[in-house]
Copies of this chain bind each other. A is one copy, B any other.
Amino acid sequence: MNFSVEQVDTRLEALRDAHRGTLCELLRIPSVSADDSFRPDVQRAADWMLKHFQEMGLEAQQFETPGCPIIYAQTPAKPGAPVALVYGHYDVQPPDPLDEWVTPPFEPTQRGGNLYARGATDDKGQMLTHVLSVAATLEAMGETPIQVKFLIEGEEEVGSPNLGPFIQQQRERLACDCVVVSDSSQFAPGVPAITYGLRGIAYYEVRLTGPKQDLHSGSFGGGVTNPANVLAKLLAALVDSDGRIQVPGFYDNLVELSDAERKEFASLPFDEAEMAEQLGVNGFFGEAGYSNLERRWARPTCDINGLWSGYQGQGAKTVLPARAGAKFSFRLVPNQDPAEITRGVQALFEPLLPPGVTMELIDFHGAPGVVFPPDSPYIQAASRAIQHAFGRRPVLIREGGSIPIVGELARALDADVLLLGWGLNDDNTHSPNEKFNLEDFHRGTKASARLWQEIATLSTA
C-alpha cells in the first residue's frame, strides 16, 4: 500500500496547477440557489459536475428534482471493502452585498495564498478535494482502494428541500459505511480538526402588514398601527438581556454540554481578544454562563438575518410604512425539535400583535443538531489521513454551522459520518470576499486520497 500511496502523492503534486484551474472553472459559475433568477447558472454547475465525473470515467448521472438537480457518481464496487459516500454541494450563497467584494465574487482571484470567490470554501473547493483525489488515484493506480460514491446536490444553501426524499428513495444506491463531508473548518491555521457535532437550524421569515399602503407619518402617526414598530417588539421579545431565548419550551429537551466537553473546549488554543480584533469589535454579547466556543458550537442561538421596512434611502422620509419584515433563525443543538420551535415562535409572537397589523410567519427550513461518537474507527482512520497530509493530528471539535442533511444521511444509511473541514474560520463563508487557502485545498486533496487507503484497512463487519 505504501508504494501506491506514494504514487498518488506524486501524482497529486504534479496536478496542483491543474487542480487550481479546475476549481476556478467551477467557481466562475454563479450557482446561487436562493434566487430563482440564477436558476440557469445552477443548471450549468450541475452540468459541469456531471461532465467532470464522466470524464473521470465514473458511472454518473443527473437526477431531476422539483428544484435543482442532484448529481450522483460512483467508482466500481469493491466487494469486501468498505464503501464511502462523499456528500457535497455545488450551489452557493447569494453574493450580497456586492459592493464589499474586493474582486468580483464569480471571478476567482488569487491574492497571497488564497483564492477569493463565492463558493471557494463553501462548498465547491472543499467538495472538489474528494473528486480530485479520486481522479488522481485512478490516474496513478488504475482503481480506488474502496468504492467511493458521490452525492452532490444543488440546494444545500436553501435547506436541501429535495434531498431528503431522494435519499429515502435511493437508499440502496447510496448504501455505504461512512459518509464523508468537507464543508467546515479547521480549528485554526495549522490546527486541522475533525468535527463530531453540528448545530441544527430553524429559519423563519416574518412579514407584518398594516395599512394597505404607506402613509404620511404626520397625518396618520399615532392613530394607525405601525408594522415596523410592532416588528421591533416581536424581534426584541426573542432574546432577553442575558442572551436567553424566550421562545416557550425552547430549552426543554436540550442536551447540556458534558463536563468532559467543556474541559476539552477550554483546553483548545483559543484567544477571545484575538477574535475580537480580527472581527473589529470591542467585545461580545452572548448567553450568560458559557464561553465563546461553547456559545458558538454547542449552545442554541437566535440571530436576525435580515430586516426591512419603509424608506431605506438617503435623507429623511416621513412615512408610516405599510409593511415590515425580518428573516431570523435559531441554531439548534440536540435534542431540540425544529417543529416545536415553530410552534413556540407562533405562541410568542401572537399575543404581541396589536389590532391593525396582520402577521405571516414563513417556516423556511429546519433540521435538528447532530453529535457523532468521537471514538469510531472511521474517525481514527480520518485522523491518520489528516496527519499524513497536514503533518499534525487533528483536534476533535464541534461546529456552529448546520449541514441539515448530515443527520438525515447518518440515520437513513446507518453510516458513520466524517466531517473533515479543510477551511479556516476567517474564510468569509456567507460573507463578501469568501476565500479558500490554496495550500489547504491541496492538503485536503492529499488527505482525501489517503483516507480511501486508510478506510480500505478497516473491517466492514
Contacts and interface: CB of A to CB of B under 8 A. Distances in A.
A358 interface: yes
A223 interface: yes
Contacts of A211: 279-281
Given A232-B236, A319-B306, A94 B431 contact: no
Contact count band on A: 35 or more
Contacts of A281: 210-212, 224-225, 355-357
A112 interface: no
A76 interface: no
Contact of A313 (B94, B100, B214, B300): B94
B36 A295 contact: no
A300 B222 CA distance: 7
Contacts of A354: 283, 285
Given A213-B428, A279-B215, A304 B299 contact: no
A315 B213 contact: no
Contacts of A237: 236
A317 B305 contact: yes
Contact of A216 (B35, B220, B295, B401): B401
Contacts of A96: 311, 313, 317
A302 interface: yes
Contacts of A217: 301, 303, 305, 329, 331, 430
Contacts of A310: 304-307, 327
B222 A318 contact: no
Taken together, the copies of this chain in the complex come to 2
A220 B400 contact: yes
Interface centre among A34, A316, A318, A402 (most CB of B within 10 A): A316
Interface string A266-299: 0000000001100111111111000011011001
Given A285-B356, A305-B321, A321-B304, A331 B222 contact: yes
A265 to B, nearest CB: 12
A305 B310 CA distance: 6
A358 B304 CA distance: 17
Interface string A421-441: 000010011111100000000
Interface string A218-244: 111111111011111101111100000
A418 interface: no
Contacts of A74: none
Nearest to A281: B356
A68 interface: no
Nearest to A309: B307
Contacts of A428: 213
14 contacts: A33-B315, A94-B311, A94-B317, A157-B316, A212-B279, A219-B425, A223-B296, A224-B284, A228-B306, A228-B307, A229-B239, A316-B327, A316-B329, A319-B431
Given A203-B318, A215-B431, A228-B305, 9 more contacts: A223-B286, A224-B286, A225-B284, A230-B285, A285-B357, A305-B311, A306-B321, A317-B430, A318-B430
Interface of A: 33-36, 93-94, 96-97, 100, 157-159, 185, 199, 201, 203, 205, 210-226, 228-233, 235-239, 275-276, 279-287, 292-293, 295-296, 299-321, 324, 326-327, 329, 331, 354-358, 364-365, 399-402, 425, 428-433
Closest 10 CB pairs of A and B: A283-B355, A218-B401, A236-B236, A34-B315, A212-B280, A285-B354, A232-B235, A228-B304, A222-B301, A307-B309
